């Protein structure tokens, strides 16, 4: 079943379309640090994954293909034959699926802090079961250590708190369903079919999707570029906002 995901478009009507896709446990406000610059010259479409933010919450489990089909429905509803796509973490996984299964719909691709395969599956199924039983608040402390470096958590506690509050507000079934999508995902054999110009960005302190995960993607996507950010964990666009914005803008140009 395809879901009509909640989304909003900003920037000039005639600007080149750019879709921004979020990490697991976050919603479209994740991209606030980049929005003003990107929307100055692009038609920026931010959306919430199914089960997140203001999007519907169908019962899980979900699949990466379903999350990708949700984006294709959104593009159709917006009258867009194609768009560039920038996704972080789960959003990057959706971007890889789209670029390999619907290549005509993706102009340029930015993959931020993501992986083509992220096992073991049993860990994701266990996390889904925990969240269904105890809610997303039960994992907030553990997630904070993956999302942000210790230095950032110390220097910017208000930013960390805001994003963790967003995690706690995420629907348990929606979060769990997306966990199961990651647990059953294996895009490694699809990477060679990606033809969109691709930028792969990793954080040097990201314990969730590592530099090695990013290098594995870049090694299989022809002509792609790999950039490793210093002092950045999993939510690199929050921790290193200026650098990430610059990299995205440079790639889209």
Q: How far apart are the C-alpha atoms of 127 and 121, rounded to whole Å? A: 10
Q: How far apart are the C-alpha atoms of 47 and 19, rounded to whole Å? A: 8
Farthest-apart Cα atoms in the chain, separation: 46
User: Which of helix, strand or coil describes residue 29?
Assistant: helix
CATH of the domain at 166: 3.40.50.1820
Express each pLDDT in 100-155 by its tens digit. 999 999 999 999 999 999 989 999 999 999 999 999 999 999 999 999 999 999 99
Q: How far apart are the C-alpha atoms of 181 and 190, rounded to whole Å? A: 16
Structure tokens at 99: 């670029």
What length is written for the chain?
A: 253
Residue 115 located in a structural domain: yes
Inter-residue contact 125 to 179 (CB < 8 Å): yes
Which residue segment(s) compose the domain that 158 sits in? 7-252
* pLDDT confidence of residue 1: 84
Q: How far apart are the C-alpha atoms of 231 and 239, rounded to whole Å? A: 8
* pLDDT confidence of residue 200: 98
Residue 2 located in a structural domain: no
Inter-residue contact 46 to 55 (CB < 8 Å): no
Q: How far apart are the C-alpha atoms of 110 and 236, rounded to whole Å? A: 13
Which residue from 234, 37, 243 is spatially nearest to 152, judged by alpha carbons?
234
Low-confidence ranges of the chain (pLDDT < 70): none
Q: How many domains does the chain have?
A: 1
Which residue from 20, 25, 22, 21 is spatially nearest to 144, judged by alpha carbons?
25
């Amino acid at each position: 079943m395809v879901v009509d995901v909640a989304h909003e478009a900003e920037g000039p009507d005639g600007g080149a379309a750019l879709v921004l896709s979020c990490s697991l446990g976050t919603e479209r406000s994740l991209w606030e640090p980049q929005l003003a610059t990107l929307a100055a010259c692009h038609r920026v479409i931010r959306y919430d994954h199914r089960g997140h933010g203001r999007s519907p919450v169908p019962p899980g489990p979900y699949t990466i293909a379903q999350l990708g089909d949700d984006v294709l429905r959104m593009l159709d509803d917006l009258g867009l034959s194609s768009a560039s796509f920038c996704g972080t973490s789960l959003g990057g996984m959706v971007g890889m699926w789209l670029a390999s299964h619907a290549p005509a719909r993706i102009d340029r691709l930015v993959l931020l802090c993501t992986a083509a395969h992220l096992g073991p599956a049993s860990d994701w199924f266990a996390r889904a079961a925990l969240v269904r039983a105890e809610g997303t608040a039960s994992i907030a402390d553990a997630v904070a250590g993956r999302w942000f470096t210790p230095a950032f958590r110390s220097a910017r506690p208000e930013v960390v708190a805001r994003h963790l509050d967003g995690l706690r507000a995420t629907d348990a079934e929606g979060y769990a369903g997306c966990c199961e999508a990651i647990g059953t995902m294996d895009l490694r054999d699809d990477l060679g079919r990606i033809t969109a110009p691709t930028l792969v960005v990793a954080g040097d302190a990201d314990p969730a999707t590592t530099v090695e995960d990013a290098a594995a993607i870049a090694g299989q996507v022809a002509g792609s570029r790999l950039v490793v950010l210093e002092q950045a964990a999993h939510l690199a666009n929050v921790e290193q906002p200026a650098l990430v914005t610059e990299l995205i803008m440079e790639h889209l140009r």
